[in-house]
Each structure stands twice: as structure tokens, then as C-alpha cells.
Structure 1
Amino acid sequence: MERRKIVILGAGHVGTHCASSLMFRGFAEEIILMDQDEKKAESQALDLDDMGSCLPYKVTIRAGGYEELQDAQILVNAIGRSRRPGETRLDLFEDSMERLKDVIPKIKNSGFHGILISITNPADVVGECLRRKLGMDRFRCFSTGTSLDSLRIQRILEEKTGYDRNSIKAFCMGEHGDSQMVPLSHVSIGGKPFALLQKEHPDTLGKITLEELQEEVRQAGMTVIEGKGSTEFGIGIALCEIVGAIFHDQKRIWPLSVSLNGEFGQENVAAGVPAVIGKNGIEEIFELDLDEKEKQEFDHSCEVIRGYLKKAENLLEISCE
């Protein structure tokens, strides 16, 4: 049986919580932490290894270098700093581009041939820059995109409706950032369209507006950052779910930021869309019919991402065509 090996690039809050989530779920036999601060990576690995003594699954976790990528099935990119209060994810653009200049050649020369999942913000831009610069297939190099936002919209709808979030089907599309959108026409609870529920309960559910929902989702990350300095648990479990869908070949539909080639009427851009995840990474982009307003919002979000990809073109010397 092939040993499942995951390398996590970045041993900060996000990278280490991805590692701990993977350990708790038993989704890998071997996890390697990498960081430019090697001492930090070693210390985080030791701390997590101590935790492993009480887990039901045998997991080897240690620090390592780029040579570990040669036989890794999955590489998780979690480099970079957290947002500061008042910053948008796009404010991290220049810092993230500088870090990519350092890591891209090392990944390229490592012999890595697995699946690359990027978390680093701005997620859509970084994931697509990695794909283009490394020359990877668009279905094997993508970012977590709006996956965390989609968990947040389910939580928010649970709070507003009283229905259990596991009975709520809702997700975000577009940028993992301020221009993201919620396709309300595809939100359902217990199989019933949300719009129908609003008509049936005009005095309660009928008062929930799309603008209200979208603003709460957009602000959710900053609310956490202003209180504790970073987000970590939510994205850790989101990454874990994606990895589980790959290793277990689940064919699960999950919102991810993937390079679009005509899907949803978009090209030369990566944006959060529903995707089918299986053993080969993304196996299909799950296209939906958006109403006119939703289409306009999604197109606008793609334009925001495309603008930053153009900026990255000169910084990383990649083609954005």
C-alpha cells in the first residue's frame, strides 16, 4: 500500500493547524513541515509529534527540506504572513509575490509531481501564479479559494435560520476576498430552495437579504483577525476535507479556485467555483446556471482577480494570456 505523504510549506498558524487537522483525521501516514525558519519547523513538528501519542492513527511528522517533495503526493502551500487588522487579502499581494520568487524554483527543481494545493493569500492569484510558473495541469494545482467562505456562509445561515448547518447547501464563488459572491439561487435547506423558504416564512427568513449575507461572510475573517491575530482552525479543517476527498476518491463537490478555460464564460483567470474532487485532484468543474445578477457579480469578481494576475505577470515573468 502506498504511503500517503504530505508536505506543508509554511510552519506558521495555518500550516501547523493544517497538519494537526490531518493528524486528527488520519489522512496521511507522513507529514513534513517546511519553513524558511528551520528551527521553527522542527519545533512545531516536535510539538505535533507529542500530540500524536494520544491519537488513534500512526502518523510520522517531522521537519524537512525540498528534497521531500520528490515522493510526496500532495504539497500544501501555506507560506506568508497573516493579514493585519484593516487589510484585505489583496494587500498581501506584493509580499506573497516576493515569497513565490524564492520557492517556485525550489519546487520546480525538486522533482515534485503530485497535487499542489495553495492557501497563501491572495489565494486565487497565488494559486494561479504557481500553476503557470510551474507549468502544472490546472486540475492538479489550485487553491482553497472560497472553501472557507463557504463554511462561513453555512454557519451564518444556521445562525439566522435556526436550521442545522449540515442541512444547508450554500457556497461562495469568485475571489476569496471582498468581491466574492453568494449564488443565492443555488442555496437550499433540506432540499428546499432558500427563495421558496423565504416566501413561506416572510416574517423571519423573508427578511434575510443577500447583501446582508455577503457582507457578513466578507467580514468574518477580519472579525477573527481583529480578535486573535489570524485565522487557522477553519482553513485547517477545510484543507483537511480537500485532502480527504483526494485520498478517498470521494468525487465530492467543493468550492475551489481553479483556472477557468471557458467555464462560467471565463478564461485566463482562476476563481472559486464548485469542483468535483477525486484521486486525481479536480476531476470536473461543476457548472451552474447563474441568474443575470449573479453572473454580473461573478464576472466582476473575476475581473478583480485578473487585474492582479496582470500585475503578477511582470513580477514573476509569467504569461497571463
Structure 2
Amino acid sequence: MGRPKITVVGAGNVGGTVAQRLAEKNAYDVVLVDIVPGIPQGKALDITQAGPVCGYSTRVVGTNGYDETAGSSIAVITSGIPRKPGMSRDELLATNAKIVKTVVRELVSRSPNIILILVTNPLDAMVHVARQVSGLPKSRVLGMAGVLDTARLRSFVAEELNVPGTEVQAMVLGGHGDTMVPLVRQTTVTGKPITDRLAPDRLAALIKRTQDGGAEIVGLLKTGSAFYAPSASAVDMVEAIMNDQKRVVPCAMLCEGEYGLKDVIVGVPVTLGRSGGESIVEYDLTAEERTALQASADAVRDLCAVVDRLLTA
């Protein structure tokens, strides 16, 4: 038996780093796809040449087509364009929705058993597009945002309290962006409630910084957006699925009544295992958290309605 194949679509900063992190696991064959000639091939070659130094022998293939992706277990989709100056949100939405639509068709036609992990923004709406186009069960179309938002919150809390980030546990639900919903009662430091360690105003400030986490990095970089933490978060999901870890992580998945949400894709706690998103875990939410999650879901619904309109226009 050969190694399982993982495809990464989009060889920009996020996709290239996802491919690198996957190669370093030394457990998969990796295919890197991009429409720009030479870019995926060059990055694949570079990652391959790091193998002898880093101790892996992963086969990494760069390609501008999809034939090499046949038989993939998982595809991480990072392809899309960032918002350009003067571009409306609808223009960005329409462009990325069309890209995702094409990519998903190409992937699913060659790998009918594939699990899709979407990273392209606006995240929740792109999962909606991928579900519609692929016809796959909801367990096999997931979005990566919650792992990243949770990681950002954990890192800020760790820095504030001068503890290792691994000692901070957190859960961030809802849409990716300023409508995200951190579950304060599920947030612990070395097993103790966060509220025992941080004053309410400091915690509120860290939550606000988490909500603006992507924008803060864009503001500093000026010509790009985050990719180290997003790529690590996508690979964390791949590992949870491929190793059948049954680990509960926050990710975007279709809700069908859970948390009182019907027919909407939003970030919720999901048990990840070999068949993808195996179940949605329902925590007890406070009335405030439930209201915030509902507002987040409503924002996603509005976005999805715009996408549907743009795609049929």
C-alpha cells in the first residue's frame, strides 16, 4: 500500500506552507496544484530538496492540472484571491465562489471519496459553495477557521499569563471574523477557568484582539495576510482526520438543528475522524452565547444568499 494522498489547491503562502508541513509529517504523498505555470512545480521541488535535511522522504508533486490528484483522501483548498483595493465585497465573493466551484468539480470527479477542507475566504460561504457543487455529505465538506481563531486566542492568553500556549484550552465558534463567539466557560489555563486568572476587561481585550487577528497581521505585513498559523491549523485538521483521532475541534460544518441552527454552515465543535466531521458536539451555551451564535449564523446566511445570487447571475 502506498501512502495516502493529500492534495493542496493553491500554491500561495498558505498552500505552499500547508504542503511543506504535510511533507514534514513523512506520512503522505502530497500534490500541490496551482494555475500559474512553474509555481507549484518549483515549490514542490524545493520542499522535496529539504527532505534529506529534515528527515522526510515525502513524494511532493507540483502540477497545473488535476489528474495527479486522483485518489486523494483529503484536499485542502486555499485557492482564491485576496481583496484588492477598490474591489467590492460582492466582487471578491463572486470571484472566489467561481474559483471554488471549478476546483471542487475537478477534485470530486477524480476522487469521489475525498474530504474537502476549505480555507478560502469568506470561509463559511465557500463551504456552502463547495457543498452545493460537490454533492458530498456534510461530513466531508468542512471549513478551517475555528482552529485558527482558537489558536489565536490561546496564544494571546498564554502571552498575557506567561504560560505555554499548549496549557491554554479554548473553543471559538461562529463565523470567521468579527462575529466569532469565544466560549469563555470552556476556556481554561492549566485546567483552571480563565475567569480565575484574568480580569473581565483584560479577557474582553484579548477576545477583541482575536476577532481582529487576521486584520492585525494584514496591517503589519501590508502586502499579504497570515499563513503560518492558518496552514498549521489546516494541517491539524488533516492529521485529526487521517489518524482517526476523534478529536473535537471547532470547524465550519452544516448545522441541521444543532444549537437551534437549521441549514446554515457555521463554526461549531466537530468530532474529526476518518470519515471527516463525524458529529457536532453540543455544549451548553449561555443565553448570551446562543444569541451571539445565532447572529453569526444570520450573517453567514446573508452572505450565502448573495453568493447564490451571484452564481446564478
Instruction: Please report the TM-score for the alignment, with normalisation by the length of structure 2.
Output: 0.92
Inter-partner Cα distance in structure 2 for 1:18 and 1:95: 23
Give the structure 2 partner of residue 81 of structure 1.
Answer: 81
Match of 1:290, SS?
A: coil
CA 105–44 in structure 1, closer or farther in 2 if over 3 Å, else same: same
- Provide structure 2 residue ranges, at least 5 long, that are not aligned to the other structure: none
| Worse-matched range after superposition: 55-64 or 262-271 | 55-64
Give the structure 2 partner of residue 304 of structure 1.
Answer: 299
Letter in 1 for 2:292: E
The offset of 1:190, in angstroms, is 2.1
Give the structure 1 partner of residue 44 of structure 2.
Answer: 45
Letter in 2 for 1:174: G
**In the alignment, which of 227, 233, 236 is matched to residue 238 of structure 1?**
233
Is the Cα–Cα contact under 8 Å of residues 71 and 110 in structure 2 kept in the other structure? no
Give the structure 1 partner of residue 139 of structure 2.
Answer: 139
Give the structure 1 partner of residue 124 of structure 2.
Answer: 124
Is the Cα–Cα contact under 8 Å of residues 181 and 214 in structure 1 kept in the other structure? no
Is the Cα–Cα contact under 8 Å of residues 89 and 121 in structure 1 kept in the other structure? no
Letter in 2 for 1:245: A
Give the structure 2 partner of residue 185 of structure 1.
Answer: 185
| Worse-matched range after superposition: 166-175 or 83-92 | 83-92
Match of 1:109, SS?
A: helix
Give the structure 2 partner of residue 31 of structure 1.
Answer: 30
Match of 1:59, SS?
A: coil
Give the structure 2 partner of residue 267 of structure 1.
Answer: 262
The offset of 1:211, in angstroms, is 3.4
Inter-partner Cα distance in structure 2 for 1:142 and 1:74: 11
Does 2:209 match 1:216? yes
Give the structure 2 partner of residue 316 of structure 1.
Answer: 311
Letter in 2 for 1:44: K
Extract structure 1 runs of 4+ deviating beyond 3 A: 82-92, 207-211
Match of 1:269, SS?
A: strand
Is the Cα–Cα contact under 8 Å of residues 246 and 278 in structure 1 kept in the other structure? yes
Inter-partner Cα distance in structure 2 for 1:231 and 1:87: 20
The offset of 1:4, in angstroms, is 1.2
Q: Deviations over 1:241-299 (max 9, x none)?
A: 11111121111111111111111110111111111111111112111011011111111
Is the Cα–Cα contact under 8 Å of residues 174 and 293 in structure 2 kept in the other structure? yes
Instruction: Please report the TM-score for the alignment, with normalisation by the length of structure 1.
Output: 0.89
Is the Cα–Cα contact under 8 Å of residues 70 and 107 in structure 2 kept in the other structure? no
**In the alignment, which of 272, 278, 282 is matched to residue 273 of structure 2?**
278
Is the Cα–Cα contact under 8 Å of residues 105 and 133 in structure 2 kept in the other structure? no
Match of 1:71, SS?
A: coil
Match of 2:206, SS?
A: helix
Inter-partner Cα distance in structure 1 for 2:212 and 2:86: 10
Mapping of 1:168-207 within 5 angstroms? 168-195=168-195, 197-198=196-197, 205-207=198-200
**Quick one: percent identity of the two aligned structures?**
28
CA 50–37 in structure 1, closer or farther in 2 if over 3 Å, else same: same
Give the structure 1 partner of residue 67 of structure 2.
Answer: 67
Match of 1:179, SS?
A: coil
The offset of 1:87, in angstroms, is 9.4
CA 250–91 in structure 1, closer or farther in 2 if over 3 Å, else same: farther
Q: Deviations over 1:119-149 (max 9, x none)?
A: 1011111012101221111111111122101
Inter-partner Cα distance in structure 2 for 1:140 and 1:305: 20
The offset of 1:218, in angstroms, is 1.7
Inter-partner Cα distance in structure 1 for 2:311 and 2:256: 22
Number of residues paired by the alignment? 310
- Provide structure 1 residue ranges, at least 5 long, that are not aligned to the other structure: 199-204
State the superposition RMSD in angstroms. 2.3
Give the structure 2 partner of residue 13 of structure 1.
Answer: 13
